Structure 1
Amino acid sequence: MSAQRMTLELRRKLANVGRGRLGRQLRLATGLIALAIPLSGCGTGALWDKFLAKDDTFVDEPADKLYNEGLYLMNQRKDPKAASKKFEEVDRQHPYSDWARKSLLMSAYAFYNAGDYDSCIGAATRYVTLHPGSPDAAYAQYLIAASHYDQIPDITRDQGRTEKATAALEEVIRKYPTSEYAVSAKAKLEGARDQLAGREMNVGRYYMEKRDYTAAINRFKTVVTRYQTTRHVEEALARLTEAYMAIGIVGEAQTAAAVLGHNFPDSRWYQDAYNLVKSGGVEPSENTSSYISKAFKKLGLG
């Protein structure tokens, strides 16, 4: 179809519009289209047919259809990335529907399965913000925590992600203590705390090798006062015994050895601590005013 015929056809459609403001705007648009059409070359016929025809290109798909397609891609095709796009499309096309709420959570789950943890955290955080009273809010919070937890680095690296995992896991336990996710969150929390304690021990050992005993004590003190339930606490008490003996604070060394022996009598670390204080001419003896003693009594371990 030629540009002239296309312009005439559009003017015919505008004939019933009237002489008002809308008519003037449309006539102006007609002129602009007439100028633009020659630039598109031989493809103008198809373009014009599209313009005049009823455009079904952007008709919304039913929410349940998109949602079920997402489930199929997730469960049958094992394609979480494609599934997440379907769930996001539900939210885009039907933003205030119940399907959108369900899809937002499924989108977070799909992102998690795809290993796209940042996107999972974003979607799950949005869900908790928009639907805090939903029965599924606990699961959304758990996905946030699990996404951080799965990215925990080894103890030689910065533990910022571990601290975020710890905070998010504690949030699950605090806000949803009776949910099925609280049990798993507690198990993961112990793993995250153990990682943080391991980091402190790693740095503390470094300072011990450098004979910077004060810096080393600060690291071992953190383990004893904050991470008493981790597997690192036995060594931390033994290292405190060693460091305090090295700088002549014998009372704290005796207390560290005594607390170690009381709580972990069969530990190989206790034997080392016991021998160390004995070599200094004293016995393990607990000073109940010491932070070491108080830390364990607070947990009912002392």
Structure 2
Amino acid sequence: MKATTKVLILLATLFFLPACSLLPKEVDKTKGWSAQKFYSEASYAMSEGNYETAIGYYESLEARYPFGRYAMQAQLDVAYAYYKNSQHESAIAAADRFIKLHPRNPYVDYAYYLKGIVNFNRNIGFFSRFVPTDTSQRDPGTALDSFNDFAELVRRFPDSEYAEDARTRLAYLRNNLAMHDVHVARYYMKRGAYLAAANRCVNVIEKYQRTPAVKEALITMIEAYDKLGLEQLSADAQRVLALNEAQSNFEVPTPKLEEEPSIGRKLWDYLELDEN
């Protein structure tokens, strides 16, 4: 490289550096904010539906003020913010973290309930909110997770304000899980796997008694036994079907649910907050 070229490069660099120093630096507007200020701004963002901003404030609050009442509440509120922002895994992780850190907190039942709601709505999906679909035909993974979340809530906190809705959702999920097994049995029938179909129906009858799916399971079971040439088992299943129909045991009410429960953010009374 020629000497003149090197000189030109050096001069250009020297000219550019002062210009860079004049560029405005990004200002952290949260510098010096108190924990209360962080929480207030996060609450306002939540009320405006600006969940991503709220999440940022909640996380900054806990990072700067990890010990205190506002940080504890932010740990729970951020789970709801994640849920509203459709960040399901993060919502569940935040709720699990709150449960682990504060197992005796008077609002820990809310964390269990929120987990159930997140998984419940993941199972419903986007399109079924607008187009009627049979959710029992879907992969039962998140439905099982939701069932377990609600079951844990009811077991640990039977008198919780969320327990009644959790029980309703448990009944709904139980019906769906039972019908899922019926759909699987019918699929086996189409494939000629009659023994597998019959066994799946037995699982429905034994595991999901008092659900509408039991009738469908018995009907499919009878067909499967007929295909297998198991006349005695088919006759036994027919008798069970007829007896239960005569006693109206299949007339099980379908649980009615709110599509979107009004769970909201959990507001705490700071004066009575359990810090343990």
TM-score of Structure 1 vs Structure 2, range by shorter chain: 0.7 to 0.9
**Gap runs ≥5 in structure 2:** 1-12, 125-134, 251-276
Aligned to 2:190: 209
* Cα shift at 1:162: 1.7
Once the two structures are superposed, residues 187-243 of structure 1 have per-residue CA deviations (whole angstroms, 9 ceiling, x without a partner) of 112222222222211121122223321011011112111122322111111222222
**Gap runs ≥5 in structure 1:** 1-36, 270-302
Bigger drift between 205-214 and 178-187 goes to 205-214
- Ranked by relative contact order (alpha carbons within 8 Å, sequence separation 6 or more), the top structure is 2
Once the two structures are superposed, residues 140-159 of structure 1 have per-residue CA deviations (whole angstroms, 9 ceiling, x without a partner) of 01111111111116444432
Question: Are 1:66 and 2:26 matched, yes or no?
Answer: no
Distance 2:112 2:222 in 1: 41
Aligned Cα root-mean-square deviation (Å): 2.8
Distance 1:127 1:102 in 2: 9
Q: Which amino acid aligns with 1:245?
A: D
Distance 2:89 2:32 in 1: 28
Question: Are 1:41 and 2:26 matched, yes or no?
Answer: no
Aligned to 2:71: 100
**TM-score (norm: length of structure 1):** 0.67
Question: Are 1:218 and 2:218 matched, yes or no?
Answer: no
Aligned to 1:141: 112
Aligned to 1:173: 154
Corresponding residue SS for 1:108: helix
Aligned to 2:85: 114
Cα 1:190/1:39, change in 2 over 3 Å: farther
Corresponding residue SS for 2:91: helix
Distance 1:207 1:189 in 2: 27
Aligned to 2:239: 258
Distance 1:190 1:38 in 2: 74
Corresponding residue SS for 1:179: coil
Aligned pairs, number: 227
Whether the aligned pair in 2 keeps the contact of 1:149 and 1:165 (CA below 8 Å) is yes
Distance 2:146 2:179 in 1: 16
* Cα shift at 1:254: 2.9
Once the two structures are superposed, residues 104-123 of structure 1 have per-residue CA deviations (whole angstroms, 9 ceiling, x without a partner) of 11111111122221111011
Corresponding residue SS for 1:178: coil
**TM-score (norm: length of structure 2):** 0.73
Q: Which amino acid aligns with 2:181?
A: E
Whether the aligned pair in 2 keeps the contact of 1:142 and 1:181 (CA below 8 Å) is yes
Corresponding residue SS for 1:142: helix
Match of 2:177 among 181, 196, 201: 196
Cα 1:264/1:88, change in 2 over 3 Å: farther
Distance 1:201 1:72 in 2: 48
**Which of 1 and 2 has greater Rg?**
1
Cα 1:171/1:40, change in 2 over 3 Å: farther
Aligned to 1:130: 101
